[in-house]
Chain A
Amino acid sequence: MSDFATLEHDLTASIAAAGDEAALEALRIAALGKAGSISGLLKTLGGMSPDERKEQGPLINGLRDRVTAALAARRTALRDAALDARLEAERSDVTLPLPDSLAARGRIHPISQVIDELTTIFADMGFAVAEGPDIETDFYNFTALNFPLGHPAREMHDTFFFKPDANGERKVLRTHTSPVQIRTMMSQKPPIRVIIPGRTYRCDSDQTHTPMFHQVEGLVIDKGSHMGHLKWILAEFCKAFFEVDDVKMRFRPSFFPFTEPSMEVDIQCTRKGGEIRFGEGDDWLEILGCGMVHRNVITNCGLDPDEYQGFAWGMGIDRIAMLKYGMPDLRPFFEADVRWLGHYGFRPLDLPTLAGGLSV
């Protein structure tokens, strides 16, 4: 064996045997450092004849390259082994549970959600959202809406009153969202298309009534809208809201002081084991009241009922929420029980949209 071969053999064996990076570095210095064995050989090249150098040069340089590569390979192997050993030692119990996320804990009340759904549907049909005060005058809540004097709704038995003011006038907590119809007609020029969601109040408290509840009202006033348009809007609304392809509706003649003709609307459904499904079956469920705005109401708002006409409808937000989402009782809507809200409420980012659908 030549000296080179012996040297290479020894170095390769030592590199392979190096147990850590420090030993490897010592080997590198011993071979390739300033006073290293290979460095020493390289220095001898300078003193050689060209022929000798031509022969020895590739041998020595080859030796250097192979030892350098062996050092690098061993270094990588040692680092990999060290990393593997470290990672082997680093273990966490990944099953440790995290707190519920904010999205899992946060809830939107069904009333807010349904109002957002209504707004989304009607905005697409060109309806704005109108609002008005909860504390109303007799004029807006009753007189302008064509309630005759002595109508039972004007009694303390049915309506919340405030104490009489200096002029003896008593304000009321609005009994419906209809006074906003009056405020809208008196402040805006037709054509008018609005929905009016809001809180309403009546002196009523039992299993199915609460003294405060929510209504949504729709109003259209222009020079040509008629009952056929009303039917179309309500049918489209019901399909969109209940998220079914078809809803069969039944219009019945009815009576309200502020519309003439007046109608009540039932929708077709089935009831099985506490579940209501729309668009099928042979039961009818009353869902809303509507009609052509009464001439007296239009007149009371300063418009000419022979020039302007239109229609209005109203329904209970709490009620349609119950019908769509299946809450059996009304009272818990206002009890703020987090168990109820957690179950019937909606996640923070369940935003109703037409593009993505009203509900998940």
Chain B
Amino acid sequence: MKFTLSWLKDYLDTSASLDEIVEALTRVGLEVEGVDDPAKLLAPYMTASVISAEQHPNADRLRVCVVDVGDGKPVQVVCGAPNARAGMKSVFSPPGTYIPGKNITLGVGMIRGVESAGMLCSAFELGLSEDHEGIIDLPADAPVGVAYADYAGLDDPVIDVAITPNRSDALGVYGIARDLAAAGLGTLKSAQVAAVHGQGDCPVRVTLDFAADEHRLAPAFALRLVKNVKNGNSPDWMQRRLKSIGLRPINALVDITNYLTFDRGRPLHVFDAKKVNGDLTVRHAREGEQIVALDGKTYTLDHGMVVIADGHGVESIAGVMGGEQSGCDEHTTDVLIESALWDPLNIAQTGRKLGINTDARYRFERGVDPAFCLPGIELATHWVQQLCGGEASEILLAGQVPHPALQIAFPLDEVERLTGLHCEAETKIAILQSLGFEVTGSAPVVDVVVPTWRPDVEGKADLVEEIVRIIGLDHVAAVPFMREPQVVAKPVLTLIQKRTRLAKRALASRGMVEAVTWSFISHDEAVLFGGGADELALANPIASDLSDMRPSLLPGLVKSAQRNADRGMSDVALFEVGQVFAGEKPEDQSIAASGVRRAQAQPQASGRHWYVPTRSVNLFDAKADAYAVLEALGVPTGGLQLVAGGPSWFHPGRSATLQFGPKLVVGAFGELHPRALEALDAKGPLVGFEINLDRLPPIKAKPTKMKAKLVLSDFQPVLRDFAFVVPLSVAAADVIKAAQTAERTLINDVTLFDVYTGQGIAEGHKSLAITVSLQPQDRTLTDADLESISDKIITEVAKKTGAVLRA
């Protein structure tokens, strides 16, 4: 909402400076977004008269002018304008002036050997118009040596305020003046509208054609004919104000409606009465009905929209935009003025569907003051007669103007309760009254009647806001609000919150980089990774590849890794800890931790390096990442099972599933399936893992924080190595487990230290070498003890896995 300072002063009697007004506007909630003060920029420009204009000695197109700038010291300037001539009045800028149209600062210079101490300016150079045909040619009676901005009336600052959607009352200059007056910036001037005496009935009849339960769509519609008007340009002052807020003057009749829209927040419409065919009907649009609107565009309407129609068809889209056919132009002699009330919701929907943003729609969809419906048409009539003459009919009112009078029982100490701000009852009452609220009764609870222009005020809290914003939020003192005083802060995070934080730090500590990728992925990707259910598909995705809620973090990470590779960063290790979706219900959402490694992004060194043997990532890198998460979170892994083969997006032979029993799958890791990579447009080698943090078992709560007692043996552990030959299909874990269970009391660790296939080992077999650590508890082991344990291990491993001790 823009307005000028002089416009504001039509309604606000104030001695406040522009800065004070700007500061107060923001303070009361009408945030100033900008102040455009042309006088500031144009301050150096003075009116001047050209004493002489001689041909430049060295240039055909230049003239040497002597200019009187009003101080009795004529200056010489070189001027290239074709219209520069002796005796003319123009605008002069001295050296040092910033020229907005050219974005330069003027200096004293020699132009083709002649000194030029300033410039005579075009409107273009002042940034006032596109006209650079010649220097400004002022009327002969223009004074010399005054600020051009003052002379030309360009000294009216334009203030732009952002109006929150609740404050429809501030969408007119008068409403803004009321707020400022309440805030102590001056006195609100009376703006009573005098009725214009009409002669005879309005000849055009109006029918509101709605079902009984649809009156809200058009509660009231006032119409008045003014005959024998002479439409032409509106006066300069009106044009200047309209232009300064960014509106294009059209003709007096149209300008009046635009002016009152901003002046009083009252949108109006004018029809050329001679172009209206018969009576008017306000009704639903017919499906597919069309109108060429005032913007020259054709709109196709639907039944939900409200229109004003005559014998021709639709003449206007109610509250949004008028029609071209019945618009007013310079030939208009009889004008029909419309002032109506519409349903805000309906106007908003119509405007949105048609994509029309007008100042009328903007106000109607926020709610105009119903009580100003008839004063609005009176005021418009007044201006029409003032500017265009003519004889007015009486007002025809179809429907009824509603008079809301919401009454609120307001306990005055509600201000203290909600804001902590203490102030006198009289102050509170005075503020409400200055904003137009009627207050009756006396403290502690008063009755407040809400003015018709404040549809946003519904209850006690709204009145608190009115009082506190006018007093100023700065007066609300900050009051300390500590947690329970004199207590050490207690932990506040839940288990999953702690695990989410820890998982991130753990993975970053493995040299991985945290990504945050979109929660939505393409439908095909969702299907590929086990999702794609209809209930997780957006009805209005912003792009086709951001359409389905992700079932897994892997597709986003794989694609991110590939994007980095495409930029030349081939060896990337990325992770994400974030939400995944198994369904639309809250309990279907869970937190997953996932990571990918691409190309040679092994943990020890990324890419080729002398220090670490160069190799591509493999599934064991992903396995290590997955286990690192589990270990960092302190998840009890006793019951954790590793099952060969992961979900379908992994390589079937190079992946595994992690689970606590078949019903509690917590994750998977492995090499990505080549088909999955192809579908994601990614190239391997690429390995990854995903663990669902919500499914991990909690750590059992214990009554104390005491750890189990540490028992250390006095005897040295004994290590024994074994190499077993087994078929390739035998799992190493089974060999280790068999060895472990061979002698439960003494064996405390089994480590696999070598896997070998090749010479010396039969085709289809492998050699697994393990170290078994034996921890005696009460005596040193004898050779016979060791022999017997070795035999047990060999026998047990052979029995469980078919292994043969390597020769």
Contact = CB atoms under 8 A, between A and B. Distances in A.
Interface in B283-312: none
Contacts of A337: 563-564, 567
B513 A338 contact: yes
Given A226-B417, A337-B563, A351-B505, A203 B540 contact: yes
B484 A338 contact: no
Contacts of A126: 482-484, 489-490, 492
Given A108-B504, A109-B515, A231-B478, A255 B164 contact: yes
Contacts of A111: 516
Interface in A329-346: 333-339, 341-342, 345
B494 A155 contact: no
Contacts of B461: 260-261, 292, 294-295
Interface residues of B, number: 102
A233 B483 CA distance: 11
A108 B514 contact: yes
Interface string A251-268: 111110000111110000
Interface stretch (A37-45, A68-76, A79-87, A94-102): A94-102
A112 B586 CA distance: 22
Contacts of A171: 584
Nearest to A125: B483
Interface string B49-93: 000000000000000000000000000000000000000000000
B589 interface: yes
Contacts of A211: 518, 520, 542, 546
B512 A106 contact: yes
Contact of A108 (B26, B464, B508, B519): B508
A253 B470 CA distance: 9
Interface in A128-161: 128-129, 131-135, 149-150, 152, 155-157, 160-161
**Which of A116, A227, A229 has its CB near the most chain B CB atoms (within 10 A)?**
A227
Interface range on chain A (Cβ under 8 Å from partner)? 35 or more
Interface in B407-433: 416-421
A210 B494 CA distance: 29
A205 interface: yes
A90 B476 CA distance: 76
Interface stretch (A5-13, A48-56, A162-170): A162-170
B31 A252 contact: yes
Given A201-B519, A253-B473, A125 B513 contact: no
Contact of B510 (A102, A156, A205, A262): A102
A127 B31 contact: no
Contacts, number: 264
B539 A170 contact: yes
Contacts of B577: 112
Contacts of A129: 492-494, 497
B402 interface: no
Given A231-B476, A253-B28, A338-B564, A349 B505 contact: yes
Contacts of B517: 334, 336
Contacts of A161: 538-540
A345 B516 contact: no
B465 A262 contact: yes
Contacts of B476: 227-228, 231, 251
A103 interface: yes
A130 to B, nearest CB: 9
Contacts of A150: 344-345, 348-349
A124 B501 contact: no
Contacts of B543: 205
A152 B348 CA distance: 8
7 contacts: A96-B611, A161-B539, A164-B539, A171-B584, A252-B473, A260-B465, A337-B563
Interface of A: 96, 98-103, 105-109, 111-112, 116, 119, 123-129, 131-135, 149-150, 152, 155-157, 160-165, 170-171, 173, 193, 199, 201, 203-205, 211-212, 220, 225-229, 231-233, 235, 250-255, 260-264, 292, 294-295, 309, 333-339, 341-342, 345, 347-349, 351
Given A134-B519, A335-B563, 20 more contacts: A129-B497, A134-B581, A135-B585, A156-B540, A199-B519, A203-B542, A226-B418, A227-B419, A229-B420, A232-B480, A254-B164, A255-B29, A255-B164, A255-B456, A261-B468, A334-B516, A337-B563, A337-B564, A345-B513, A349-B505
